[in-house]
Chains A and B, each alone.
Chain A
């Protein structure tokens, strides 16, 4: 790692001010950023740790929407949403391993937007709003391709507003070495329709499968997608799976998620 300083502000305002310095970068749980720094793929002059900011911690429930602080760890989400949004809790409890979950944060995951990460799928399928220090961004506008989001330099994900569906489920086909999703599908059924978000599959990162959404909004059963096909165009090709294999998995995982949704 190149040398850098670390600041640990206790308010969002102080963190925003600290991030104004040239080459300053936010530090969430560090579970992605620290390995990146070790490889010298990033060279910030200063890291601004967000985990000491009380306003960015914890989960509030206002009935049909959860407000999750941007620095809330995966482990806390897994425990504290078990009753309010079980499919979200289940997703969080299967990210990486226990030590990763004790450090990694939802804001860090959403800011990173790894094409195989889990949180982007639940945020997009739930129609979440990403709340930053300056604005609110709809999930549909926030995710802009692999490792790319609508965030500006120095903008902090302070919270996520997550509508709770009537029924939901996440099916992750685990890539066993990394424990990320080889393909993951999050299905969320709301009173006004179904949203389906796919992670791990596309070169464009997390995305919605709109044909499945239409079919499932008309008939919420695994059979409703039986006649659909997923195109392999622009899906990820790597040593773990071909685009055709991933296309197949998208449909299989969607069917399983619908069958398991509760």
Chain B
């Protein structure tokens, strides 16, 4: 066992992990932050996306030891300080960007990365950026709409009104 230390959503944490412990396992099983979902466990679906040092990664495809010393943020750290939904989360709610909600944590985390890199993406850029995030419910249109809205853009032209 190795002791790893990192900050998760701004709080310092320290845990004993095995070499093979995935970051997703540390977050979900040790820290009980179960908002990070495991959809496939084969780096296909993106439900497990978190940020490590500000970059989106699939936490099912990174070892906990590799995050030693890092700043990690998960869906649990996304709400505003007063507990209200942040702009992205609110836009997903307003535009019905989720149905079962299983993919949503990964969608929100990926969206946060997108808007940091590209504050006003086109619809095509949004769809391309979401290539690693699979949703089995919505058909994506309302997710794209939510992201366009979160970036302060007009959503009236987006399909599946």
**Are the C-beta atoms of B19 and A98 separated by less than 8 Å?**
no
**Are the C-beta atoms of B66 and A98 separated by less than 8 Å?**
no
**Are the C-beta atoms of A34 and B43 separated by less than 8 Å?**
yes
Minimum CB distance partner of B50 in chain A: A99
A3 to B65, alpha carbons, bound, how many Å?
14
Across the interface, B66 reaches (CB within 8 A) one of A1, A49, A96, A102, namely A49
Residues of B within 8 A of A179 (CB): 131-132
Interface residue B30 (Cβ < 8 Å from any Cβ of A): no
Whole-angstrom distance between the Cβ of B27 and the nearest chain A Cβ? 15
Interface residue B26 (Cβ < 8 Å from any Cβ of A): no
Interface residue B123 (Cβ < 8 Å from any Cβ of A): no
Instruction: Indicate whether A38 sits within 8 Å of B42 (C-beta atoms), given known contacts A3-B18, A6-B65, A49-B66.
Output: yes
Which of the listed residues A38, A75, A99 has the most CB atoms from chain B within 10 Å of its own CB?
A99
Interface residue B57 (Cβ < 8 Å from any Cβ of A): yes
Interface residue B41 (Cβ < 8 Å from any Cβ of A): yes
* Chain A interface bracket (under 10, 10 to 19, 20 to 34, 35 or more): 20 to 34
Residues of A within 8 A of B49 (CB): 99
Whole-angstrom distance between the Cβ of B115 and the nearest chain A Cβ? 12
A100 to B58, alpha carbons, bound, how many Å?
7
**Are the C-beta atoms of A30 and B63 separated by less than 8 Å?**
yes
Across the interface, A35 reaches (CB within 8 A) one of B42, B46, B57, B63, namely B42
Instruction: Indicate whether A100 sits within 8 Å of B62 (C-beta atoms), given known contacts A34-B43, A35-B42, A47-B19.
Output: no
Whole-angstrom distance between the Cβ of A130 and the nearest chain B Cβ? 25
Across the interface, A103 reaches (CB within 8 A) one of B2, B19, B62, B133, namely B62
**Are the C-beta atoms of B20 and A3 separated by less than 8 Å?**
yes
* Chain B interface bracket (under 10, 10 to 19, 20 to 34, 35 or more): 20 to 34
Across the interface, B46 reaches (CB within 8 A) one of A2, A51, A97, A103, namely A97
Interface residue A152 (Cβ < 8 Å from any Cβ of B): no
Interface residue B5 (Cβ < 8 Å from any Cβ of A): no
A-B contacts besides A38-B42, A97-B46, A102-B55, 17 pairs, CB < 8 Å: A2-B20, A4-B20, A6-B19, A30-B61, A30-B63, A75-B55, A97-B131, A97-B132, A97-B133, A98-B56, A98-B110, A98-B129, A99-B56, A99-B57, A100-B132, A103-B61, A179-B132
- By a beta-carbon cutoff of 8 Å, the part of chain A in contact with chain B is 1-6, 8, 27, 30-31, 34-35, 37-38, 46-47, 49, 51, 75, 96-100, 102-103, 179
A sample of 28 cross-chain residue pairs with beta-carbon separation below 8 angstroms, ordered by A number, consists of: A3-B20, A6-B2, A6-B63, A6-B65, A8-B65, A31-B43, A35-B42, A35-B43, A38-B41, A46-B19, A49-B66, A75-B55, A96-B131, A96-B132, A97-B46, A97-B131, A98-B56, A98-B114, A99-B43, A99-B56, A99-B57, A99-B110, A100-B43, A100-B58, A102-B55, A102-B56, A103-B57, A103-B61
